[in-house]
Amino acid sequence: MPRTLVVAVRPGLFLALAVMIPGTARAQADAIAQGDRLMAAGRTEAAIEAYRAGLAAHPGDPTLLWKAARAISNLADETPGDAGDEARMEEAVELSRRAVRAGPGISRAHTTLAASLGKLALFRGGKRKVELAREVGREARRAAELDPQDFAPFTVLGVLERELATLNPLLKGFASALFGGVPDASLERSAAFLGRAVRLGPGFVAPHLELARTFAEMDREEEARAELEKALALPPQERLDSLLQDRARELLRELD
């Protein structure tokens, strides 16, 4: 006769589990919300610490991982030339890789990885730079597939197209001979990607600035000025936006 397995459960255990699981979710949500508030207040370093505190308790949370990576990447942009920027970008890449592994279906995890890899490539040379450029494209395209309504992956793709399209011909030939070449790119595709980013995220500074840079490379100066004016008219959403607006002013002066 088959035996029936009977599991004895202490009274109140189910209630304790029901309380514990939502409580864990609330703690994760609180860490994310605190970091987001600090980013919006322009306190990037404090936001990083808030995200890190959340990760200490929830190391596998993909949203905490990509948000921490993005904040660290922002800090590197906010401190150009700082001796710690390379280490910051290495950490941002490591965290965003973990975010992609933990949440492969999260578009922003892939976008953050793509952007972080692109910035890390500035500290690398030769074959590794070419490999990173290819990975940036793969991750940004995957992000766009996952969320075609998000402006962020199209911004990354537009910047990548411009950087590759304007690469010094001698360097491009050198890369082709030694490392199998760089991906095909064009300023027209850069403008198309960034134009889409602007349409999807008209209230964000970065896509307007990057589209202006591409227009400037194409000698479409009036269109570049129009995008710069739009970038400057927007309220900053985080500290990096103010720095991007400073760069927009510089480019506007160069065009005048």
* Boundaries of every domain in the chain: 25-255
C-alpha angle with apex 60: 55 to 63, nearest 5 degrees? 75
Confidence band, pLDDT 50/70/90 cuts, at residue 201 = very high
Check residue 252 and give its pLDDT: 97
Confidence band, pLDDT 50/70/90 cuts, at residue 181 = low
- Convert 122-138 to b/e letters by CB count within 10 Å (16 or more is b): eeeeeeebbebbebbbe
Q: Give the rounded percent of residues in the chain with a pLDDT score beyond 90.
A: 74
Of 139-153, 171-185, 231-245, give the lowest mean pLDDT range: 171-185
Instruction: For 11-24, write each residue's pLDDT tens digit.
Output: 454 444 344 445 56
Mean pLDDT of the 105-133 span: 91
pLDDT reading at 178 higher than 50: no
- 7: number of Cβ within 10 Å: 4
pLDDT reading at 240 higher than 90: yes
Check residue 176 and give its pLDDT: 52
Give the global pTM. 0.86
Cα–Cα distance for residue pair 77/83, rounded to 1 Å: 12
Check residue 124 and give its pLDDT: 85
Place of tokens 């850069």: 190
Q: Assign domain 25-255 to its CATH superfamily.
A: Tetratricopeptide repeat domain (1.25.40.10)
- Residue 50 near residue 36, CB atoms below 8 Å: no
Cα–Cα distance for residue pair 18/62, rounded to 1 Å: 23
